[in-house]
A and B are shown apart, each in its own frame.
Chain A
Amino acid sequence: MTAEGTGIVLDVTGLTKQFGGLTAVDSVDFRVQERQICSLIGPNGAGKTTLFNMVAGQYEPTSGDVVFDGRSLRGLRPHDITARGIGRTFQNIRLFTNETLLENVLVGMHSRLRSSPFAALLRLPSQRREEAEAHARAMDLLKLVRLDRFADESAGNLPYGMQRRLEMARALASQPKLLLLDEPTAGMNPQETLAMTTLIRKVRDDFGVAVLLIEHDMQVVMDLSERVTVLNYGQKIAEGTPREVQRNDQVIEAYLGRRHKRPEDEVAGAHA
């Protein structure tokens, strides 16, 4: 069941984004394989979220390409990309706070439902069947994230940790092949973080999705990911297994700063 797929789900090549004079993401390449959990790490402002937003279609890349499932996503709008099979969560949670949990998840299914407004006006049998199935599936997803008890509550009333899990259920509702999670454990206590890590792994195993996550909690990154890509100032500075990345000098430098140099190095540097 967990046979590692060899297909490449996401292939990012030479992806660049410039905001005016600032190059937020500078020709980054990386790949995500089927059913793989990948992490995107880097200091604040390294361009991780910008990269996410390009993959999800929120931003138009300045150059480069994103190939998903063998087809380029170039020029597609966010909702088309969701329909293709990329689901996402947001760094600062963006739930529909006035809607119930159930409605939130149902909106997540939007691209998988077909009924036209006319079918809804006439309440055709096909539309009723589709709605019933959608409701059942939404409840299953709420059960998965253990929020089914609050199905009819407004999402805005949920405490923070639950909101993150609801966002995850909502993203899964679109039946993605690739799940983009932007800091899924941000602001969580260790207990909640552990539960989220477990959930992410379970989702990968049960739904067979590939997961690309941005994360600052190194424990989570090392624990969860099979592959790590490190960005700094918009450039990819390292890539590999968590262990490889942990030992990479450039990565250590990016996070902790340059190692203290001997005086002769300083002099040599000054002459150059």
Chain B
Amino acid sequence: MALLEIHNLDVHYGAIQALRGVSVSVEQGKIVTMLGANGAGKSTTLRAVSGLIRPTRGEVRFDGKPIHNLPPHRIVEMGISHVPEGRGIFPGFTVEENLQAGAYVRKMSHGEFERERGRVTKLFPVLKERLAQPAGTLSGGEQQMLAIARALLSKPRLLLLDEPSLGLAPLIVQVIFRIIREINQTGTTILLVEQNIHMALNAAHEGYVLEAGSVVMKDEATKLAANDDVRKAYLGVG
């Protein structure tokens, strides 16, 4: 049984249908990526998983348990952490406070929190130097790192990442993806939405291609990267 099972999901924004029968399955320990153009429904799928929107049909199971009717905070408690598109850091909070917010569900003592923070900031040494700085003053790359670090502090079993490379310089993107792989290697399952198809397929084990709210292709990442249609449509090759 997969860790996350999305089955036949429909989502509507008012009268507009954003997802049409999307089914995605994420195995424990894997990185799975969702590809597709703007408006294909990738972010919507993540939002439906983390409970920010209610699906109109279909179901989402985490560890076998249905979660599609739970509010977001209950889903976080179950072990899913969502780094939203645009990072969603609290700009007026300091870096430290942002990290505290990330650990909110775990009700830790101060000592425990410091230990956990140490564990996470090992991945992002730059954050350690900026703990007292307001998060709004960080650079884009640093903000993305903070957003991921914050998400990790809830100790998720599944991490949802929405466009972590958006608006970042190529060098920073490389760093971010290296960290994503590291996180996965420590046992965290990742569902990754990306427009940087090349980087995403490089990092992922499996990929789904979405178009107009439906899954149109699903395969191992290496096979997708080699697929002519994918190369033509998304990698600008051929």
The judgment on whether A and B are partners is no
